[in-house]
């Protein structure tokens, strides 16, 4: 699917409340507090699906990393974000998550409401690629159970999303990541050794 101007105008209205967009500052503050508590430094960030770039903007302001990278399939999103002064030094490109190249490791990855737009045939490769490129991933994805609640409570519909049960995402993510806190996953490829998230109760 093409994430054109029409998509962003429909899904991000001026009076809209898209999680990770209108409250991006709070998400960044949460991560900052958690990582400071665990004595983890975040000097590099990789956003797998930056969209409007608001969450990445707030993460940048809060952590002040020395390197910021990101990809998105939308040429419109890329062009819009690159016009902003904040993104002048960011390394952004237009591509699919499973097509991300390079081996440079980032301390923190972002994947906020991205996987529901990726076709089944690319999910496995996309999840693996994220695990290969980051130590920790701030991850959120609405499941079919979540969409049912959103339709009932907020009358919110996403005609672009592929609705899948939570077990679908749990099965795929658990191959490459361990849940260590709310929204925070640790890569099984690059994590664990020396991790401060040692409490077995929270490692799922």
Written as one string, the DSSP assignment of 114-126 is -GGGS-HHHHHHH
Closest listed residue to residue 171, CA positions, set 132, 133, 204: 204
Place 81 in a pLDDT band, splitting at 50, 70 and 90.
very high
Average of per-residue pLDDT across 177-182:
97
Place 1 in a pLDDT band, splitting at 50, 70 and 90.
low
Instruction: Identify the structural domains of the chain with CATH numbers, from first to last.
Output: 5-202 (3.40.50.150)
What are 5-15's pLDDT values in tens digits?
677 666 666 55
Q: What's the pLDDT score for residue 49?
A: 97
Q: DSSP strand E in the chain: where?
A: 44-48, 67-72, 91-94, 106-112, 134-140, 177-181, 184-187
Average of per-residue pLDDT across 71-88:
95
Closest listed residue to residue 55, CA positions, set 183, 197, 195, 202: 183
Closest listed residue to residue 42, CA positions, set 11, 65, 72: 65
């Amino acid at each position: 699917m093409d994430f054109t101007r029409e998509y962003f105008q429909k899904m991000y209205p001026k009076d809209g409340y898209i999680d990770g967009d209108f409250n991006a500052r709070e998400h960044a503050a949460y991560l900052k507090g958690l990582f400071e508590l665990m004595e983890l430094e975040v000097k590099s960030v990789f956003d797998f699906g930056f969209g409007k770039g608001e969450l990445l903007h707030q993460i940048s302001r809060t952590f002040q990393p020395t390197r910021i990278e990101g990809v998105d399939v939308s040429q419109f999103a890329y062009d819009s974000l690159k016009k902003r002064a904040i993104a002048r030094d960011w390394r952004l490109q237009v591509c699919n998550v499973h097509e991300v190249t390079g081996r440079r490791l980032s301390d923190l990855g972002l994947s906020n409401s991205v996987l529901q737009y990726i076709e089944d045939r690319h999910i496995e490769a996309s999840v693996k690629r994220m695990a290969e490129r980051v130590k920790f991933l701030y991850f959120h994805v609405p499941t079919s159970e979540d969409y049912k609640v959103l339709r009932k409570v907020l009358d919110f519909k996403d005609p672009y999303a592929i609705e899948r049960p939570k077990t679908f995402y749990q099965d795929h993510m658990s191959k490459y990541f361990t849940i260590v806190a709310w929204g925070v996953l640790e890569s099984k490829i690059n994590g664990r050794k020396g991790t401060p998230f040692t409490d077995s109760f929270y490692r799922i």
